[in-house]
Amino acid sequence: MRPCIYSMLWYESLRIKKKAAGLILAAFFLFCLNTTFLFSQDEGPKGESAAGSGEPVVPKEAIGSMPAKAEPINTEEIIAKINEAKDAGSALRACESAIQQCKAFEDYENMISEIKLLASMKDYAFQDVLDYAVGKARVEELSYLTKKNDIESGRIYMSVNEKYYNEALEYLDKAGKVTKSKDLDLGIYFLKFLIFKEIFQPQKVDGVFNEMVNKVGSYSEEDAKNLAKLNEISNKLSDNGMKDDAMKLKLVYASKVDPNSAKKIADEIKTDADKYFEAGSAKEAVSTYDTYLQLAENYYDKDAMSARLMDIAEKYFNKSQYKYAIKYYSLYLFKYGASQVADYASSKLAMSYYHDKDYAKAVSKFEEFLNTYPNSVWFEKGFESLCKLYYENSSAEKAQEFLQKLIDTYPRRETRDYAHLLIGTLYYSKADYNKALEIFKKIQQSFPKSAYLYTTDVLIADINDIKKGGRPSYSFGSKDIYKAWDIYTQISADIGIGEGAEVVDNKDAKPGEIFIKTKAGSKVTFTINGLEDLDRFHEYWQDREDQSRLPREIKTETEKDLIFLIWSGADGGKFLDDKQTLSRIWRAPGEPGNCAITINIGDLGLVRPLDTGSRKDAAKTLSIHVFVEK
């Protein structure tokens, strides 16, 4: 019920008496200022009020040096709104609004004083709300002082914090004993948790925390309302810089509810982690993902959890955050090493180490992957990656030894062509052209379908030119000088169409696309024209005897890079041979329809020590769209 008219009049009389007392004290203060010969400024006990009430007094030096204050809030108007509240909910909202309006230390002091005055009215209907408001205002006031981060506010805080925290606890206890509001009860425990955290009482922190969890669980008979309240309290903890406690609250709560509710909590935690991840907050994302995994594995089966863990690892890999990708791929293999995609996780773990430039660990993980999963669909990619690691991070002799060992270990794998190619280029770089020629010809004979067939054709032609007195077209590292490489041009190429087909104009054609029409059963010759990729290097000489001397640039030039081809996708038609060469003959299907042929052009981008930089361009794709007519 609302306070009676007599209580209102009594409250106003108290306010008038308080104002009169204030005027008398002000007059007395002015008198003291004009009679400084009677008393020293340093006399009298510090930290006590003149009336001996025990209320802490702000140090004089702090008051004198504090910056100019903003216009004080209208406490009379605010208190009037609290006094006019018709129910506990509106009284609580009015009190919280009043506290939010406080912008200075004096605002808090005046507001708390007025709320206490109102609370002294014995027949005020919502005493629990007022007691809670005093406790909350004290906590907010002390928080305000700590956030000010200036000397004056620090002095005030040190002089009042112990008394004000104790007072806040006293009023919160009073509110808790009489309140019937579950929202207010939770608010009381939340504030107590903040206070005990601040004054370093861990046992009380734990006790209040557990009670807060229990009160969330008994807040309503509806699970949805309890979860909403859980999220509300968790968000308040996060807003107060207690993200670990916010996660702990959810974990402890989940351990006390049914599995379906626990799953929902886990999924909400993952949603929070995803938001941190998308926002670029790496530390928070990892911590929250870890909490999610810890909780979720108690309620989801292995298949579901393995998919969720893989999703997290993939997120980090795709964002090039390889250290975290390593963490989660490793965890996946530890927990779900028997899963059907463990081979994929193993290959991605090795690749993560490679991209993270931990080459020794990458070599170890690729070797482990090849030995453990020889039948994996990812084997070829892992094999080539390991070959490149050997080539780029070992001396020429060691690289040849490691590559030959791979060839001998997996004698039936088609991917051996890449290892042979790298060994051949190592002989080429040492000017052992006969040995290099022997290996390149072996690739042509043993691997007629190799994607590197065009590459070996180019190198064989270059060696033949060298034997006739020409200059080598390619360089793969040197002992005396080093090159710093950078990409100069992108791969250039287009498609030429021979007899048997006609080019069709298509305004929607994208770069690298061509549309043609031909008769059913016709032979069509496709040729790749203008195929070239140039990279630039800056060549330096380094004094090996005196490494302190800066390298001397010798020259800047461009050089052709090695390219490989893969023709694919001749659905409905057929190539007359399987060789991956510049020119190929294709027979159209016997029935009308549409066909698509794709040529993927890749750049080997080989860079050997002591050279640095990158030569690897983005792959280029050419597409042929064929309309087959009768």
Cβ within 8 Å of residue 38, ≥6 positions away? 32
- Asked whether the predicted pLDDT for residue 502 surpasses 80, the reply is yes
* pLDDT of 34: 43
* pLDDT of 357: 93
Tokens of 429: 């770089």
- Asked whether the predicted pLDDT for residue 25 surpasses 60, the reply is no
Q: What is the pLDDT of residues 451-476, one digit of tens each?
A: 999 999 999 999 999 999 999 988 87
* pLDDT of 20: 46
CA distance 374 to 378: 9
CA distance 253 to 251: 5
Query: Is residue 611 in a domain?
Result: yes
CB of 626 closer than 8 Å to CB of 594 = yes
* pLDDT of 435: 96
Query: If pLDDT is split at 50, 70 and 90, which confidence band does 5 have?
Result: very low
Query: Is residue 32 in a domain?
Result: no
Query: If pLDDT is split at 50, 70 and 90, which confidence band does 28 have?
Result: very low
Query: Is residue 285 in a domain?
Result: no
pLDDT average, residue stretch 261-282: 92
Q: What is the pLDDT of residues 408-418, one digit of tens each?
A: 998 877 778 99
Distance of CA 332 to the CA centre of its chain: 19
Query: If pLDDT is split at 50, 70 and 90, which confidence band does 190 have?
Result: very high
Cβ within 8 Å of residue 148, ≥6 positions away? 154
* pLDDT of 237: 92
Domain extent for 516:
486-630
- Asked whether the predicted pLDDT for residue 521 surpasses 80, the reply is yes
Query: Which one of 43-52, 116-125, 498-507, 532-541 scores highest in mean pLDDT?
Result: 498-507
Higher pLDDT, 612 or 383: 383
* pLDDT of 544: 64
* pLDDT of 605: 83
CA distance 342 to 334: 10
* pLDDT of 480: 65
Higher pLDDT, 34 or 626: 626
Q: What is the pLDDT of residues 282-325, one digit of tens each?
A: 888 999 999 999 999 999 999 999 999 999 999 999 999 999 99
Question: Residue type at 220?
Answer: S
* pLDDT of 303: 93
CATH of residue 626: 2.60.40.10
- Between the alpha carbon of residue 103 and those of residues 70, 71, 99, 160, 514, the distances in Å are 8, 9, 9, 18, 70
Apex 539 CA angle, 536 and 541, nearest 5: 170
The count of structural domains within the chain is 1
Query: If pLDDT is split at 50, 70 and 90, which confidence band does 166 have?
Result: very high
Question: Residue type at 167?
Answer: E
CA-based max dimension of the chain:
121
78-112 per-residue burial string, b: 16 or more CB within 10 A, e: under 16: bbeebbebeebeebbebbbebbeebebbebbbbbb
Query: Is residue 491 in a domain?
Result: yes
pLDDT average, residue stretch 276-282: 92
CA distance 524 to 247: 66
* pLDDT of 570: 61
The verdict on whether omega for the bond into residue 610 sits within 30 degrees of 0, i.e. cis, is yes
Query: Is residue 622 in a domain?
Result: yes
> Among residues of the chain, what percentage have pLDDT more than 90?
57
pLDDT average, residue stretch 364-379: 95
Q: pTM for this structure?
A: 0.71
Query: Is residue 281 in a domain?
Result: no
Sign, CA dihedral 6-11-14-19, equals negative
CA quadruple 386, 389, 391, 397: dihedral, nearest 10:
-90
Higher pLDDT, 167 or 35: 167
359-371 per-residue burial string, b: 16 or more CB within 10 A, e: under 16: eebbbebbbebbe
DSSP assigned state of 465:
H
* pLDDT of 361: 97
CB of 452 closer than 8 Å to CB of 443 = yes
CA distance 132 to 179: 10
Query: If pLDDT is split at 50, 70 and 90, which confidence band does 543 have?
Result: low
Higher pLDDT, 49 or 436: 436
- Asked whether the predicted pLDDT for residue 66 surpasses 50, the reply is no
CB of 215 closer than 8 Å to CB of 163 = no
pLDDT average, residue stretch 57-77: 59
pLDDT average, residue stretch 249-268: 88
DSSP assigned state of 523:
E
Q: Which of 471-475, 560-564, 567-571 has the lowest mean pLDDT?
A: 567-571
pLDDT average, residue stretch 590-605: 90
* pLDDT of 71: 73
Mean pLDDT of the chain: 85
Query: Is residue 7 in a domain?
Result: no
Query: Is residue 566 in a domain?
Result: yes
pLDDT average, residue stretch 125-154: 92
Higher pLDDT, 333 or 65: 333
* pLDDT of 478: 63
DSSP 122-141: TT-TTHHHHHHHHHHHHHHH
Higher pLDDT, 18 or 190: 190
